[in-house]
Amino acid sequence: MPLVLWRDARVQRIAVQALVLAIVAIIGWFLVDNLISELDRTGLQAMPFVEVSGSFPFVDFSEDFLSQRAGFGIGETSFGVDYTPNNSYADAFRAGLANTFRVAVLGIVLATAIGLLAGVSRLSKNWLVSHLAEAYVETFRNVPLLVQLIFWYTAVALRLPTITDTMDLLGVMLVSNRGVAVAWGEPQDGFRLWLLLLGGAMVIALVVRAALVRWQDASGTPRYPWWGAFGVFAAIGAITFFATGQPLEFQRPVLEGRAYAGGAQLSPEFVALLVGLVLYTGAFIAEVVRGSILAIPRGQDEAAAAVGLKAMQRLRFVILPQALRIMVPPLTNQYLNLMKNSSLAVAVAFPDVFQVTRVTINQTGQAVPMIVLVMATYLTISLAISAVMNLAYNRGLRGGR
């Protein structure tokens, strides 16, 4: 009987899989046991943040050594994070994480815009436009990102005029080797209330858009749902802006002595990192856009032309909506790459979460828990980006049916 079972193909597949799992488990156990033994020998723990308890949920979390005073400075922070060297390592990690978020969010938005423009330009019938786009794509996607970051930092950002010779661009932007300062809104009293009202305005705008879409489908005449939704959102935003006492004051940057005051100030490290990431990722996104447009059957464009649509209308209303459903999966990969590549900020000394982790490891000697923590952080951000893009992809497919 056992011999008969072993000749069964299904049993053989299960046995092979069980054997592979057992080998992987043994190797994993050996590595973990060896790591824990070595850490015990030096008086360290693999996961000092986690302790097993006797009551539900049977695990307690604590900051452990992360609650100690950090003692090192972070040159710039994001999203209003207030950090000084007297804060804890946990606060330093949060400040670095906020900087990573700022680079990733701005990078994704700008890389998408540049990639879309370059991808469409590569298909242009204008010889100069198409070849300029091709030169951009082939140049930036074939040079390692690390090399580009060092170039933008050492050969461009640090070679700008000194702060005493600051370049003033129309009074809204100041540029020097100390960084870039741009006009920006400074939150005042009532800013949070205005943000809440804007959230409500967005919900109302989406409802208006849905109503206009139904009206358009029923009547057969264009009702411009997006323009209608935007108009509602802008009107409510303007009314609530004045009703809440103008909670956002726009400030132009000025030069005071040897420093900038007012507006949003960007360090040379941040500018070099952002420019490098955007141009590098934008080149790959351009190819994604071009390939997705070419995947649309030519008959779609010809049919749109037959009903009198102009080239821009065919691109906007016929080609791009269909190409979007094709380009979303590869776009997700590019967004994930951009976020992970932001860890190269260490090459230009930008204090992102990885740079802060390196400093923390050097000062505390807690390499294993910090590496595990930063890996879990990047994994969580990547899974969040994938979830958002998958949601957009699924909604796009439903819209196309």
* pLDDT band, residue 401 (cuts 50/70/90): very low
Q: How does the average pLDDT of the chain come out, rounded?
A: 87
* Residues above pLDDT 90, as percent of the chain: 43
pLDDT at 216: 83
**More confident call, 357 vs 75:** 357
* Rounded Cα–Cα distance for residues 394 and 399 (Å): 9
> Quick one: DSSP state of residue 88?
B
pLDDT at 380: 94
* Rounded Cα–Cα distance for residues 307 and 317 (Å): 13
Q: Is the pLDDT of residue 185 over 90?
A: no
Average pLDDT rounded to a whole number, residues 129-135: 94
Reported as a single tens digit per residue, the pLDDT across 376-400 is 999 999 999 999 888 888 865 555 4
Tokens 């193909």 map to which residue?
Answer: 9
* Rounded Cα–Cα distance for residues 184 and 181 (Å): 9
Nearest 5 degrees, angle CA 210-CA 215-CA 310? Answer: 90
Reported as a single tens digit per residue, the pLDDT across 64-118 is 788 889 888 888 888 878 899 999 999 999 999 999 999 999 999 999 999 999 9
Shortest CA distance to 153 belongs to which of 273, 278, 264, 266? 273
SS3 content of the chain, % helix, strand, coil (to 5): 70, 10, 20
pLDDT at 399: 52
Sequence-distant (≥ 6) Cβ neighbours of residue 15 within 8 angstroms: 6
Token pair of 397 as six digits: 């497919």
Sequence-distant (≥ 6) Cβ neighbours of residue 24 within 8 angstroms: none
Average pLDDT rounded to a whole number, residues 188-203: 88
Lowest mean pLDDT among 115-124, 249-258, 368-377: 249-258
Lowest mean pLDDT among 43-52, 114-123, 321-330, 352-361: 43-52
Average pLDDT rounded to a whole number, residues 288-307: 86
